[in-house]
Structure 1
Amino acid sequence: MISDPAFYLAAIPAVILVGFAKGGFAGLGLLALPLMALTISPVQALAIMLPILMVQDVVTVWSYRHSWDKTNIQRLLPGALLGIAAGYFLAAYVSEDAVALTIGVVSVSFAMRRLVLERRATLPAASVAGPIGGAVFGVLSGFTSMVAHAGGPPFQVYVLPQRLHREIVVGTGAIFFAILNVVKVAPFFMLGQFSPENLATSLALFPLAIAATIAGIWLIRRIDSARFYTLIYILLLGVGGKLIHDGLGGMLG
């Protein structure tokens, strides 16, 4: 198990943020990896986070087991599996910075447009999720989930315009990412990242991960449904801005 106190100063808030994200505050989890990467390598941080994410998935899937949309899962999942495979085989050849920049621009543009329309009370009617969009955003979600545990923004861009009930949005994301995290076990195992040290570190953080997820679920269920979308758009705007910053920084630096 990692014994460096500096690691836990970064890991504890990171795990809390991921727990809140799993509970429904989508986007907060994107801050976790950069925090942990301050003290360990990004790849090791990804490996330590994966078992933690899977434990949190158990809590969220159980909590939202009756509140999820089957059609969205069916349309997103095939592309997401392809995206995970691409993340494993092509990560060394595809610029993560370019991917981050692209998704950041899409996320910010989408969030700003929705916030402006919402403020003007001119939001369009709920859209129907198409299979082509599901395939495209599924690939993006799977790829970014594999390389950075950051599949949330593409998922949100696809699902949020449907104006589903808050519980359905969160529950669908819980089921979707629980499946992806199970699939990612094999690639991370083949990358040799499930060392005894990493697994023991994950285990030590399990209690905090579960408590943070329960707290996130408790809080999100007490937010008015009408305000839920505004909050998620604002979080997505912040996440997109961070992706743009990271992408540009990596490409120009």
Structure 2
Amino acid sequence: MLGLDLMELLMLMLAAMLTGFSKTAVSGATLPAVALVAYSFGGKLSAGIMLTMLMVADLFGVYNYGRYGKLKDLLKVLPPAIAGVLLGVAVGSYLNDAQFKFLIGMTVIFCLVLLIYMETIGKNARIPSGVLFHGATGVVNGFASMVGNAASPIFSVYMLSMGFTKNRFIGTAAWFFFVVNIVKFPFHVFVWKTITLETARYTLYMLPFIVGGALLGVFMIKRVSEKTFKYIVIGMTALAALRLML
């Protein structure tokens, strides 16, 4: 089916479920999905296939949690994120798969250490609030999103460090990636040529699994406490970062 053997097909199905799940529950679930798709399709091509699945899943995130996002939060990071996307287009055109996966893995590891530090010192944390902090965060997220659809753990660190509640966390992330993924789409089609009618059919066949993952996320997030939610994000981020580094 779809020119894939049984193992590759099963991994694509699991990736589709994780993609839907990531938009309504744990955002870090995106990275294991990225790794699974990359196994079957390689680095850059898998980025295009993942993007179309993510754009479908974005609709569920925005529909279920978009009302919790705040425009003022988005405006702090969206403009620099778009600049990061443009940087990613340029750099990603020259780096091979191993190089940009390693770069993203290093970035995620750094952010994970930052997140654990923030959780350890708790209320004594001093969070940067200047334009430079938000701008740098936006650029890094846009870059990581473009070259590997790997910005979710970095953005998770940013939102958790800002002290967002669970619903505000998911709502802000839903709108952020909805907009960023739309910006990325024409570059994948016309510059990298990683999205074609041929690759789009993978997303079409995976629609039931994306929907299933999103519904599972809606069910689970209502039954997960704020503290547990943070631990899940940390755990998923750590596993995904290690996978990118290997």
- Mapping 1:32-43, distance limit 5 Å: 32-43=33-44
Q: Which residue of 1 aligns with 2:159?
A: 159
- The alpha-carbon deviation at position 218 of structure 1 amounts to 1.9
TM-score by length of 2: 0.89
1:2 aligns with 2:2: yes
- Mapping 1:22-61, distance limit 5 Å: 22-61=23-62
- The alpha-carbon deviation at position 132 of structure 1 amounts to 1.5
The CA deviation string for residues 5-47 of structure 1, in whole angstroms up to 9 with x for no partner, is 3331210111112222111212121011221222222222222
Among candidates 104, 108, 120, match of residue 104 of structure 1? 108
Distance in 1, matches of 2:24 and 2:51, equals 16
Indicate conservation of the 8 Å contact 2:17/2:211, yes or no.
no
Indicate conservation of the 8 Å contact 1:138/1:154, yes or no.
no
- The alpha-carbon deviation at position 91 of structure 1 amounts to 1.4
* CA gap 1:126/1:215 in 2 versus in 1, 3 angstroms: farther
1:183 aligns with 2:183: yes
- Mapping 1:93-242, distance limit 5 Å: 93=94, 95-97=99-101, 99-117=103-121, 122-124=122-124, 127=127, 129-190=129-190, 191-242=192-243
- Aligned-residue Cα RMSD (Å) equals 2.1
Structure 1 portions without partners, runs of 5+: 247-253
Q: Identify, as 1 or 2, the structure richer in helix.
A: 2
Q: Which residue of 1 aligns with 2:79?
A: 78
Percent of pairs identical after alignment? Answer: 24
Distance in 1, matches of 2:166 and 2:126, equals 14
Distance in 2, matches of 1:240 and 1:123, equals 27
Structure 2 portions without partners, runs of 5+: none
Indicate conservation of the 8 Å contact 2:18/2:30, yes or no.
yes
Distance in 1, matches of 2:150 and 2:239, equals 14
- The alpha-carbon deviation at position 97 of structure 1 amounts to 4.5
TM-score by length of 1: 0.86
* CA gap 1:130/1:72 in 2 versus in 1, 3 angstroms: farther
- The alpha-carbon deviation at position 129 of structure 1 amounts to 4.2
* CA gap 1:125/1:176 in 2 versus in 1, 3 angstroms: same
Distance in 2, matches of 1:14 and 1:222, equals 23
